[in-house]
């Protein structure tokens, strides 16, 4: 490991809408930074600011004390951690932090394999979207050992103020499923409320001034509701990625013999939206279901 008096070298894999900002905050915090992304051009800005490009996830893991990942799907997490020449094949006494929203079972598996390799692993999915990533205001839900959490905390604090250890391996992912389940029903309510207001001939910005300050207020209404009114369906969080999350949540609920009808309805509506070619729009594009 790096000398205790200096900051550990952090490796960051996944420089998409959120990851690029998150990695930038770490670099701004004075941490030496290695980066990898499947599309190299997304790393150009960070490299220009002093980050070091690595050609593979394995090469990054070899050269890093801490490895952070935020990739697309559980299959991507599995490949980058457990694949041939992946992170666990190459890391040495490293702290591994997966910030992807992924499968709780996979998080448990990675933690067990990491321990065999002499590493520490945390699952630490986030909430706050691209705005939270940009402004370093993410909520970070962490699963894993207390000692590993304490080690990771100074780095995680570069990305957001709300950082809570939820329990052992997989607990962070289960907590993120709670988050997505709440969002799924909330965004349906936002879309239906605004669709009702539109059909009633109300001025939607004026409606939002009233209900946005009352009991209905919150990010989904005040931020995404405003985007809906503006006709802005650009992604802060992709429909296709939200569908992935809802699928994980429903699978876990089924495993626990828990019936979540609103979650099932939300997935059905988002599946229809994606089938219409809107998978790369933001989650607020659900408003299109109501004739937008």
CATH classification at residue 132: 3.40.50.720
The tens digit of pLDDT for each residue in 269-284 reads: 999 999 999 999 999 9
- Please tell me whether residues 203 and 89 are part of one structural domain: no
Domain residue limits at 278: 175-290
The pLDDT score that the predictor gives to residue 129 is 87
Instruction: Considering the candidates 42, 116, 117, 176, report the single residue annotated as catalytic.
Output: 176
- Please tell me whether residues 25 and 116 are part of one structural domain: yes
Give the global pTM: 0.92
- Please tell me whether residues 270 and 180 are part of one structural domain: yes
Last residue of a domain, one of 168, 200, 224: 168
Residue ranges in the chain whose pLDDT is less than 70 = 1-5, 292
- Which ranges in the chain belong to alpha helices (H)? 19-28, 44-48, 57-62, 74-82, 87-90, 104-116, 129-134, 146-156, 171-199, 204-211, 219, 225-230, 239-255, 261-273
- Please tell me whether residues 164 and 183 are part of one structural domain: no
Residue 1 lies in a domain: no
The tens digit of pLDDT for each residue in 246-270 reads: 999 999 999 999 999 999 999 999 9
The residues that bridge with 53 in the sheet, in sequence order, are 35
- Is 176 catalytic? The answer is yes
- Please tell me whether residues 254 and 226 are part of one structural domain: yes
- Please tell me whether residues 58 and 125 are part of one structural domain: yes
CATH code of the domain covering residue 281: 1.10.1040.10
Last residue of a domain, one of 168, 188, 209: 168
Residue 52 lies in a domain: yes
* H-helix or E-strand spanning residue 67: strand 66-69
- Please tell me whether residues 53 and 97 are part of one structural domain: yes
If you count them, how many residues does the chain have? 292
- Please tell me whether residues 43 and 154 are part of one structural domain: yes
Number of domains in the chain: 2
Residue 2 lies in a domain: no
Burial class of residue 230 in the structure, from the number of CB atoms within 10 Å of its CB (0-12 exposed, 13-18 middle, 19+ buried) = exposed
Residue 102 lies in a domain: yes
Neighbours of 112 (CB within 10 A): 11
Nearest to 143 by CA among 116, 118, 163: 163
Residue pointed to by tokens 């490293």: 94
- Nearest-Å Rg of the Cα atoms of the chain is 20
Residue 270 lies in a domain: yes
Burial class of residue 72 in the structure, from the number of CB atoms within 10 Å of its CB (0-12 exposed, 13-18 middle, 19+ buried) = middle
- Please tell me whether residues 187 and 110 are part of one structural domain: no
Residue 3 lies in a domain: no
- Please tell me whether residues 30 and 150 are part of one structural domain: yes
Cβ(269)–Cβ(226) under 8 Å?
A: no
- Please tell me whether residues 192 and 90 are part of one structural domain: no
* H-helix or E-strand spanning residue 10: strand 10-13
φ and ψ at residue 123, rounded to 5 degrees? -100, 125
- Please tell me whether residues 32 and 161 are part of one structural domain: yes
């Amino acid at each position: 490991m790096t000398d205790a008096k200096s900051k550990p070298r952090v490796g960051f894999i996944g420089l998409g809408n959120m990851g690029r900002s998150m990695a930038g905050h770490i670099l701004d915090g004075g941490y030496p930074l290695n980066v990898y992304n499947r599309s190299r051009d997304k790393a150009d800005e960070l490299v220009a600011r002093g980050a070091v490009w690595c050609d593979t996830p394995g090469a990054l893991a070899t050269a890093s004390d801490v490895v952070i990942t935020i990739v697309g799907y559980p299959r991507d997490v599995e490949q980058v951690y457990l694949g041939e020449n992946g992170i666990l094949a190459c890391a040495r006494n490293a702290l591994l932090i997966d910030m992807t929203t992924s499968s709780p079972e996979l998080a448990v598996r990675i933690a067990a394999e990491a321990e065999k390799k002499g590493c520490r692993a945390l699952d630490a999915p986030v909430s706050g979207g691209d705005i939270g990533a940009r402004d370093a205001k993410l909520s970070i839900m962490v699963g894993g050992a207390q000692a590993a959490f304490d080690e990771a905390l100074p780095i995680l604090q570069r990305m957001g103020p709300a950082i809570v250890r939820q329990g052992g391996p997989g607990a962070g992912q289960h907590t993120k499923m709670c988050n997505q389940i709440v969002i799924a029903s909330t965004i349906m309510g936002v879309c239906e409320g605004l669709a009702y207001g539109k059909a009633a001939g109300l001025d939607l910005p004026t409606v939002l001034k009233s209900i946005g300050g009352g009991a209905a207020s919150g990010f989904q209404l005040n931020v995404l509701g405003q985007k809906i009114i503006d006709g802005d369906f650009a992604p802060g969080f992709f429909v296709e990625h939200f569908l992935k999350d809802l699928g994980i949540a429903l699978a876990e609920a089924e495993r626990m013999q828990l019936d979540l009808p609103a979650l099932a309805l939300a997935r059905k509506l988002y599946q229809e939206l994606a089938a219409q070619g809107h998978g790369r729009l933001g989650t607020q594009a659900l408003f299109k279901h109501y004739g937008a």
